[in-house]
Structure 1
Amino acid sequence: MNRIIIACAVLSVAAAAVLPEDAQAQIVDYINENDGIGNYNFRFETSNGLKRQEKGSVVNQGQEDEYIQVQGSYSYIDTKGRLVNVVYRADKDGYHLIEKEMGPTITLQSSGLSPAAIASLLGK
């Protein structure tokens, strides 16, 4: 039992580790629109190549089966230097992964480019 607790503690610390460039990341683009009744649209991009956008719309407004339908995507450069792009939607039936694409590994150190520059060159 103690081994499981120690393993969980080690894994949680490793998962929380932040790369130096991530700790210094700045928000370079941000939009947030919300009508207060459930319809919203937001997006942001950070200087380290992280991007996220999401749009939510009320479906069956005022009805007993009212819910918010969500469509969105996010992308980031993983620890191996690959661009990861995820597209999803969520509705009354739950969360649905539409697409997850992992790009080729890019050696960030040898390229001399920042993760944001690489993501930009890859069109993300």
Structure 2
Amino acid sequence: MSRIIIACAVLSVAAAAVLPEDAQAQIVDYVNNNDGAGNYNFRFETSNGLKRQESGVVFNQGQEDEYIQVQGSYSYIDTKGRLVNVIYRADRDGYHLQEKDTGLTMTGFQASPGLPPAAIASLLGK
């Protein structure tokens, strides 16, 4: 019984390990601007396909209801090889997910729930 527990523990640690290509990822693009008054924008991209960009603008500056409106996006390749793209906005009313798209794989398109596979095949010219 204890061997099973030890084996499960070892497997769970191995499964959680960082992929070698992720551990070796390098920053290939980086921009960061900040005006010191709360307005900013940045973007970066890594060699393993991670991308992020964001900008923030101060509204009602100096007033009691001052806030920063943030817009941004990030994308990465998930463990199944699919591109995940997330677009968001945050303001005085909270965080708003505007779009989350998973489906484009490294080898082609994956069917979406509302579109039959035959329709996707025809769009791809198959």
Instruction: State if a TM-score over 0.5 links the two structures.
Output: yes
**CA separation in 2, counterparts of 1:45 and 1:70?**
19
Residue of structure 2 equivalent to 1:70: 70
1:34-88 CA-to-partner distances (Å, cap 9, x unmatched) read 0111100000000000000000000000110000000000000000100000000
Partner residue, 2:22: 22
How do 1:80-119 residues align onto structure 2 when only pairs under 5 Å count?
Answer: 80-106=80-106
Q: Which amino acid aligns with 1:30?
A: Y
Higher relative CO (CA 8 A, sep ≥ 6), structure 1 or 2?
A: 1
Change (3 A) 1:42 1:81: same
The alignment covers a number of residue pairs equal to 98
Counterpart position of 1:32: 32
Tell me what 1:41 maps to. Answer: 41
Supply the AA of the counterpart residue of 1:76: Y
- Compare CA radii of gyration and give the structure with the larger one: 2
Aligned-CA RMSD value: 2.2
Quickly say closer, same or farther: Cα 1:27–1:103, change in 2 above 3 A: same
Q: Which runs of 5+ in 1 are unaligned?
A: 1-8, 108-124
Contact 1:49 1:76 in 2 (8 A): yes
Q: Secondary structure at the match of 1:18?
A: coil
Aligned residue number for residue 3 of structure 1: none
Report how far residue 16 of structure 1 moved.
Answer: 5.5
Alpha-carbon distance in 2 for matches of 1:59, 1:27: 32
C-alpha separation between the residues in 2 aligned to 1:76 and 1:17? 18
Q: 1:72 to 1:13 in 2, by over 3 A?
A: farther
Q: TM-score if structure 2 supplies the norm length? A: 0.71
SS across alignment from 1:30 = strand
CA distance in 2, matches of 1:37, 1:71: 17
1:103 Cα offset (Å): 2.1
Q: Report the AA paired with residue 39 of structure 1.
A: N
Distance 2:30 2:38 in 1: 19
Taking every aligned residue pair, what percent have the same amino acid on both sides? 87
Q: TM-score normalised to the size of structure 1?
A: 0.72
SS in 1 for 2:48: coil
